[in-house]
A and B are shown apart, each in its own frame.
Chain A
């Protein structure tokens, strides 16, 4: 079947989609957006977290056909999404982005190299990192990096909803994202750092 939906602000058409296929598979294998990670495929780990009409969901548990006509933001579009929100374009969190390069699939190794330098995100050439992304780098919240895209999407949504979260708020918001490297302390640091920086910006 064919599925039409919006990804990171850009209309997309996926063809020859199998009816039992997940949104995650469509993003990674048909649209060349490997940012959302495929780990548990049962909603346990949160590595595939995306925003569906603004709401954080596990993309492995959304059937491809269910996103027809809907709006998806992946980690690739997160920086632009956060930028537009900061500029007042999208307080509701339900709008997309306009960045044309958001769909460029960047090989994970290359993306990692760029991300580590702090000069670019996976959104394409010349993009800036969002506050949350930069905070994850600065706080050392990334080790193997596999859980990072999901944590970034979940953390960004938390700070959109609650700019000054308590530690309990952070733990609850990230309770659906597993990390097997960091022990979560650096991730907590990163979210606290992002919240502090975000409040300075306002």
Chain B
């Protein structure tokens, strides 16, 4: 094994171009587990810790450009207003020690269906900024990023530089099912974001399909129902039958498996419950109550 230690982003891209099989390591919270347990023996480890740019973020007009290595702890502390869904999701990641090291770049690179950040990114709307020495930068829409179980749209010579997440224009919520409040991989997870500016609702489902997915049919149904009933203007309570149908469509968007953490039917059921709850919480917040940043794990 070789340990590559680029001092700059350009050096990192050059190293990845020269050694496309190199495994990038930032927080190490996924990669080191695989090495410690002998599940993986990469020929090259590509350390990204020395690249300071990856630890920075910029709040722009429309979106936040979040460096790939910004630790979850920083997202919780500093970006709660701009990215409330992602901040809530970050708070459910493992433990303080892990949140101090891990970041969204690693979650995207690993592309596990259970990654905690994914439902929040899908719900908020995001683009992944990747770069290669040969072809420069490209932005991959988050909906096209996840291509299979632990597979993503990255090419072998590309590295994840940042993720551009749309700034919240309305309430966002995140919910996760696990056996305790810390140190759990999600049995399933759900993110929901209201976008009053476009009068749309977006969702993200984690750990209930081969990849993180949006419940698009549920979104379309809800968008139409909210528009038809004038809900965005009159701020009325969402009709229980609408919430119920939304929840059912979210369950139907799942394609889960039975595994040690839970059965497929439990996951479908739980996603429906989380969909209804997060819709209620965000809508209550939209109507003027104060529940924007209260989360539930």
Contact = CB atoms under 8 A, between A and B. Distances in A.
B1 A20 contact: yes
A41 B97 contact: no
Interface in A44-85: 44, 46, 49, 55-58, 60-63, 65-66, 68
B27 interface: yes
Interface string A19-44: 11010000000000000000001111
A172 interface: yes
B28 A62 contact: yes
Interface residues of B, number: 28
A1 interface: yes
A41 B36 contact: yes
Contacts of A68: 5
A46 B32 contact: no
Contacts of A20: 1, 35, 41, 45
A177 B182 CA distance: 10
B291 to A, nearest CB: 19
Contacts of A173: 96
B100 A60 contact: no
Interface in B62-97: 94-97
Given A41-B33, A41-B37, A43-B33, A19 B97 contact: no
Contacts of B1: 18-20
A176 interface: yes
B96 A172 contact: yes
B182 to A, nearest CB: 4
A175 interface: yes
B136 to A, nearest CB: 28
Which of A55, A66, A68, A154 has the most chain B CB atoms inside 10 A of its CB? A66
Nearest to A70: B49
Contacts of A177: 95
Pick the most buried of A62, A154, A178: most chain B CB atoms within 10 A of its CB: A62
B181 interface: yes
A62 B102 CA distance: 11
B221 interface: no
B105 to A, nearest CB: 15
B154 interface: no
A148 to B, nearest CB: 16
Contacts of B182: 172, 175-176
B29 interface: yes
B32 A19 contact: no
A175 B92 CA distance: 11
Given A18-B1, A57-B101, A68-B5, A154 B96 contact: yes
Interface in A113-158: 154
B100 A19 contact: no
Interface string B22-51: 000101110111011100010001010100
Interface of B: 1-3, 5, 25, 27-29, 31-33, 35-37, 41, 45, 47, 49, 94-98, 100-101, 181-183
17 contacts: A19-B3, A19-B45, A43-B32, A55-B100, A56-B97, A57-B97, A57-B100, A58-B97, A61-B27, A61-B101, A63-B32, A63-B47, A65-B5, A66-B28, A66-B47, A68-B5, A172-B182
